[in-house]
Structure 1
Amino acid sequence: MKNVLISGAGIAGPALAHWLTLAGCAVTVVERAPAPRPGGQAVDFKGATHLEVLSRMGVLDDVRRRQTGGTDQTIIDARGRALATIPGEFTGGAVEIPRGDLAALLHDRTADRAEYVFGDTATSLTQTGDGVHVTFRHAAPRTFDLVVGADGIHSTVRRLAFGPEEEFVDFLGHHYALADIELDTDPVMYNEPGRMVAVGGPKSPAFFVFASPELDFDRHDVEQQRRIVADAYRGGGWRVPELVERLPHAGNLYLDSISRVHVPTYSTGRVALLGDSACGNTLSGFGSGLAVVGAYVLAGELVAARGDHTRAFARYESLMRGYAKVAAKANAGPFLAPPTRRRIALRNAVFRSRVLVKLLLKSTDWFATDIDLPDYAFTGTRS
């Protein structure tokens, strides 16, 4: 029986834990946060492949019961006048769900089969001929057959096993923030050159995107992050001053860069990367789908290889590398926060054209289904 450590209890980690425990593996999931992370931006799934994997997991109906997508978003000017409409199927895919709700659902589905260790993180990985010796910040050291980094763009496992983050993560010129601020408005998006804010809709935090040089800040210092966002939006039009005024009291504020991950290989020895740690691209719109499909493929290839992790990791990468190519090209920053008023107008014109919107929807569906999904012989899904 394989003894597997997964770092990260967001989406990719619990999805992988689901499949590996069905295959008879002993799975430990370690997560830096003290509990499953609540809130966050909505994530969506697109096309038949994403939905098929959710169905095989036995969670599609639960996801649909918690979905919040399908709401059109109006692009407005400083007076609140409508300029264009982003259709709900573009922003919400086939099904959309708050990230925190999905993480809680996947955790609840696997908590009785996998060991979850919250409030801790790996501090070193030492590979030997028959395992990976892992030390933790708080827990006692342990040895695992395999280690999987499913811990996001700022992956601890990737840093420990592959090298410093700056070698594998490219900053793309923008930052984004989420804050629990509600305004009495329907879902709207407001732009000025180099910055955007979107608000409104059920369970939707205020969403900020702004151009800037790469910022050096403590990702665990929320007060510092509040000041950064407030400074980036001072002097804004529409109701931006109201949002800035409410930032000091906003709950669950999160700030990060828009960045893209590039790694030469998804694995090294007995350590593999999954989801954003392997192919992340902030706000590209495909992260949740790549996470659940990648988890299914990685677990399935380990089962098919009958414990030969070298063969399994190679096959996993051959299937996922091409599928994840959309994450190697996209840059959401200039699309969400165009640098000039002319670029804003051109972006808005796209959403006023039914033909162009249909082409956008068709292309995203093509990317989401561009993989021949194997049918692995797991012991069966649990409902």
Structure 2
Amino acid sequence: MTAVLISGAGIAGSTLAYWLTRNGFEVTMVERAEGQRSSGNPVDVRDRALEVVTEMGLLPQLRAAATAVDRLSFVDARGRAKAVMRVGDPAAGTVEVARADLARILAEASGDRVEMRWGDGISAIEQSGAEVAVEFESGARGTYDYVLGADGVHSAVRRLALGTERELVQHMGIYIATMPVPRAWGAANEVVMYNAPGRSISVHPAGGRPIAAFMFRHAAVKDLDHRDTDACRRLLLAEFGGRTGPFDAVLDHVRGGGELYFDAVSRVSLPRWSRGRVGVVGDAASCLSLFGDGSSLAIAGAYTLAEELVAAPYDPDGALRRYESRHRERVGSRHRGVRMASALIVPASRPAIGIRNTAVRILARA
């Protein structure tokens, strides 16, 4: 039986684990967190990902958990709507669901077929012939036929096998933070967003569990650790003090502590996605960094990777190369849309905010 270690229990990792175990692979999953993350902006499941979750039999669960949001309202400092745009694509079957719900549903699909190592990580990888030896941060060791990194933009597998983050990850000039808040600011089907120059605050109703998101333009902060919550909280408060418009109460929640996700908007650019029997998938391979279709591409990429491994488990170079070739075609055009999305969501100046609002109103009448 082919033994696979997957690093990362998120969307890509859980999808990959499902398809590998369904096809007779022995899968161990290691995740640095102690459990599934409960925060994060809602995400879309669309296109190829929609076909994958349908084949997994998960579409009814996703539709039951869907947010039902269909509009984004841009408001001024007094909370008055200045422009409204329709979001989502129900005609294409697109489902928007809270990221935590999507990750949970995908993880549960494998049942008890996956051996889980919560609260641990990979500290060393050594390839020798047909084996990959792994040392874990806990001190444990293991040997696998494949090691696959689905561990996000700060991937340990990528760093150990393919290159450093400094070499392969590009800061896109924006930071983002999300946290749960007690109430929504608009209707149950409405995201409300306020912009100051180079900054945005929004609240998503998220199916009754509202999520606030903060985005701001900023050069890369040297030595800032996205896991240092206190340092990230201080930076967030410094950037948004006096610039919250109708969302002063949201900033109060930041001051009050609680769960906070914080990271840079980044682009991962790898010359290759694998070396020997070690490869990467999802954000670890081709991060779209919180804009666009990152979650859908993670699902589609994980399915493609599993498909190639199942077809040729004893041809690692061929299987991993074919997966990369096929999935890079999907990723390429989506990467080019990141700057356009940032101009829509985080206009850099007051005139740019006005131009954005005018353009949205014109398009709404078209």
TM over 0.5: yes
Q: Is the 8 A contact 1:258 1:333 kept in 2?
A: no
| Matches of 2:40 and 2:151, distance apart in 1 | 16
Query: What's the counterpart of residue 77 of structure 1?
Result: 76
Q: 1:200 to 1:25 in 2, by over 3 A?
A: closer
| Matches of 1:113 and 1:64, distance apart in 2 | 25
Letter in 2 for 1:163: G
- Cα deviation for residue 58 of structure 1 reads 1.5
Q: Does 1:210 align with 2:219?
A: no
Q: 1:204 to 1:245 in 2, by over 3 A?
A: closer
- Cα deviation for residue 90 of structure 1 reads 6.3
Q: How does 1:6-155 map to 2 (within 5 A)?
A: 6-47=6-47, 49-89=48-88, 94-155=94-155
Q: Is the 8 A contact 1:39 1:101 kept in 2?
A: no
Query: What's the counterpart of residue 331 of structure 2?
Result: 324
- Cα deviation for residue 306 of structure 1 reads 4.3
Q: Does 1:249 align with 2:256?
A: yes
Q: How does 1:279-298 map to 2 (within 5 A)?
A: 279-298=286-305
Q: Is the 8 A contact 1:262 1:328 kept in 2?
A: no
More deviation in 233-242 or 133-142?
Answer: 233-242
For this pair of structures, how many residues does the alignment match?
356
Q: Does 1:188 align with 2:197?
A: no
Identity %: 40
| Matches of 1:222 and 1:176, distance apart in 2 | 13
TM-score, scaled relative to structure 2? 0.92
Letter in 2 for 1:210: F
| Matches of 1:306 and 1:120, distance apart in 2 | 27
- Cα deviation for residue 72 of structure 1 reads 1.4
Q: 1:307 to 1:60 in 2, by over 3 A?
A: farther
Query: What's the counterpart of residue 371 of structure 1?
Result: none
Letter in 2 for 1:50: A
Q: 1:356 to 1:173 in 2, by over 3 A?
A: farther
More deviation in 206-215 or 217-226?
Answer: 217-226
- Cα deviation for residue 244 of structure 1 reads 2.4
Q: Does 1:345 align with 2:354?
A: yes
Query: Out of 295, 319, 322, which is 1:312 matched to?
Result: 319
| Matches of 2:242 and 2:112, distance apart in 1 | 51
Query: Out of 221, 224, 231, which is 1:224 matched to?
Result: 231
| Matches of 1:237 and 1:124, distance apart in 2 | 44
More deviation in 118-127 or 131-140?
Answer: 131-140
Letter in 1 for 2:344: F
Query: What's the counterpart of residue 266 of structure 1?
Result: 273
- Cα deviation for residue 129 of structure 1 reads 0.7
C-alpha RMSD over aligned residues: 2.0
Q: 1:299 to 1:356 in 2, by over 3 A?
A: farther
TM-score, scaled relative to structure 1? 0.88
Letter in 2 for 1:160: L
Where do 5+ consecutive residues of structure 1 fail to align?
Answer: 358-383
Partner-residue secondary structure (3-state), 1:282: coil
Letter in 2 for 1:54: V
Query: Out of 198, 202, 217, which is 1:198 matched to?
Result: 202
1:152-195: per-residue Cα shift (whole Å, max 9, x none)?
01111000101210111000111010022245520310001100
Query: What's the counterpart of residue 157 of structure 1?
Result: 157
Q: Is the 8 A contact 2:78 2:246 kept in 1?
A: no
Q: 1:66 to 1:183 in 2, by over 3 A?
A: closer
Q: 1:147 to 1:259 in 2, by over 3 A?
A: same
- Cα deviation for residue 345 of structure 1 reads 1.9
Letter in 1 for 2:295: S
Partner-residue secondary structure (3-state), 1:285: coil
| Matches of 1:306 and 1:218, distance apart in 2 | 38
Q: 1:183 to 1:127 in 2, by over 3 A?
A: same
Q: 1:38 to 1:128 in 2, by over 3 A?
A: same
Q: 1:69 to 1:260 in 2, by over 3 A?
A: farther
- Cα deviation for residue 138 of structure 1 reads 0.8
Q: 1:217 to 1:93 in 2, by over 3 A?
A: farther
Q: Is the 8 A contact 1:131 1:143 kept in 2?
A: yes
Q: 1:69 to 1:277 in 2, by over 3 A?
A: farther
Letter in 1 for 2:65: R
| Matches of 1:93 and 1:82, distance apart in 2 | 28
Letter in 2 for 1:40: G
More deviation in 84-93 or 149-158?
Answer: 84-93
1:200-253: per-residue Cα shift (whole Å, max 9, x none)?
423231100001121232322222222111111012152243332331224221
| Matches of 2:83 and 2:246, distance apart in 1 | 18
- Cα deviation for residue 41 of structure 1 reads 1.2
| Matches of 2:365 and 2:148, distance apart in 1 | 40
Query: Out of 343, 350, 361, which is 1:334 matched to?
Result: 343
Q: 1:184 to 1:335 in 2, by over 3 A?
A: closer
| Matches of 1:28 and 1:306, distance apart in 2 | 17
Q: Is the 8 A contact 1:44 1:93 kept in 2?
A: no
More deviation in 206-215 or 301-310?
Answer: 301-310
